[in-house]
Structure 1
């Protein structure tokens, strides 16, 4: 799933399309290439504590483990081995079963606008794994006293705060999918997740599960709300069918908001 976020037009320091609008609190940033994409962590507050350093290390280790389990590019990943019948489900990492169940729930909630089933009858949970993985990684930061954070991965974002800390408000610039030099809108995110799905960055890679064909149109769909996992799923569903997706989202998840461009 793709996301397109660019720097908001004003505020404090920018990265991954995020500004916090302040300059007084200590800040710190970390970036690593994981799961085939740049992953950035932005902290405010008690950013130099040993607990903060340890949590960031655990966060990146979490994502590297997800890549070992789920990568569709690695022949030795557990998912690849399981799909080839070389790995007994009883010996597999429990994440595989967890994600498969989440994919089933996502297909039901979205009325079939999101699916891990491929047109040839195969299984590819990639559209759910990134949001699920990034949200799981961000949980390591939630235990750190005195910080607020924003974690960005390929454009998808999770914001929150550690133990006893007041969360920051992060301004997210949403890229215009038809003119990627322009910010089309900004969203304030304090806690929760934001995801964008579209074709501007990677072309027509999103399939309509109802037909098995790629969605060829331009544009994007952005969803934000309590969790990145479900924001990511719903962004895909709304890009596949903006009208049906919006109706299903409003019925199933009224706490989420969306923007279709």
Structure 2
């Protein structure tokens, strides 16, 4: 089955394979749970919704000690990547409100993948705006060309794990280097393959914020493989990056 919905401000697609005759209802129910969870996560964590827990925390209507366990987990992850990136990854920038989206998307979609596994779904591809979790068989995932919307610059082959890309091409210079408060420079795109989308998405964002030095930083993290294009159009990648056909 194949299903697409607009959630968290982006298209999310789910493909489930191998359900078999008589199991279609189970696959539909699993998909329903995934999309319901993503809508729930958006309502709770979006900084663009005034009634979200994140917005209420930012306004001081919820104390830091009184947040939900899920938000506490997200904030702990945000702090972890802030420290490990030397401050390049920030969810509280001067003059801006609390915005944990760089962690929330990958974290929420990864939990969606775990819901699928818990429901007995073993072969699937869950794609949230180009950031992907796959399982059950080799899947090919295209890495969009940083300057050509109609082309890919690499194709990744992954059987179990996640792929996430950070770049400028969808939203311009939206990633800020928290060390300087200015738009990140040095890279056009950074793709990370990791065991979970929580890790892949946050590392891709943090590495992109760090600039060219972020490529080596991301590649040095356990279980992460990296593909990047810098501002000089050079391709940089770790030796184990799983290029299809390589």
Q: In the alignment, is the contact (CA less than 8 A) between 1:200 and 1:218 conserved in 2?
A: no
Which residue among 199, 202, 223 is the counterpart of 2:192? 223
Q: Secondary structure at the match of 1:186?
A: strand
TM score, norm. by length of structure 2: 0.85
Q: CA deviation at 1:125?
A: 1.0
User: Aligned residue for 1:244?
Assistant: 213
Unmatched tracts of structure 1, length 5 or more? 1-27, 161-166
Looking at structure 2, the residues matched to 175 and 248 of structure 1 have their Cα atoms a distance apart, in angstroms, of: 22
Looking at structure 1, the residues matched to 222 and 70 of structure 2 have their Cα atoms a distance apart, in angstroms, of: 28
Looking at structure 2, the residues matched to 145 and 136 of structure 1 have their Cα atoms a distance apart, in angstroms, of: 14
User: Aligned residue for 2:58?
Assistant: 83
Structure with the bigger RCO (C-alpha within 8 Å, sep 6+) is 1
Q: Secondary structure at the match of 2:212?
A: helix
1:190 matched to 2:162? no
Unmatched tracts of structure 2, length 5 or more? 230-246
TM score, norm. by length of structure 1: 0.81
Structure 1 segments, 4+ long, off by >6 Å, are: none
Q: CA deviation at 1:121?
A: 7.2
- Superposed counterparts of 1:99-248, under 5 Å: 99-120=74-95, 122-145=97-120, 147-160=122-135, 167-215=136-184, 219-248=188-217
Looking at structure 2, the residues matched to 121 and 104 of structure 1 have their Cα atoms a distance apart, in angstroms, of: 17
Q: CA deviation at 1:122?
A: 4.7
Q: CA deviation at 1:59?
A: 0.6
Q: CA deviation at 1:241?
A: 2.9
Q: Secondary structure at the match of 1:87?
A: coil
Looking at structure 1, the residues matched to 74 and 7 of structure 2 have their Cα atoms a distance apart, in angstroms, of: 19
Looking at structure 1, the residues matched to 57 and 44 of structure 2 have their Cα atoms a distance apart, in angstroms, of: 10
User: Aligned residue for 2:6?
Assistant: 33
The CA RMSD over aligned residues, in Å, is 1.9
Q: In the alignment, is the contact (CA less than 8 A) between 2:207 and 2:217 conserved in 1?
A: no
Looking at structure 2, the residues matched to 31 and 82 of structure 1 have their Cα atoms a distance apart, in angstroms, of: 31
Q: In the alignment, is the contact (CA less than 8 A) between 1:177 and 1:218 conserved in 2?
A: no
Looking at structure 1, the residues matched to 34 and 66 of structure 2 have their Cα atoms a distance apart, in angstroms, of: 25
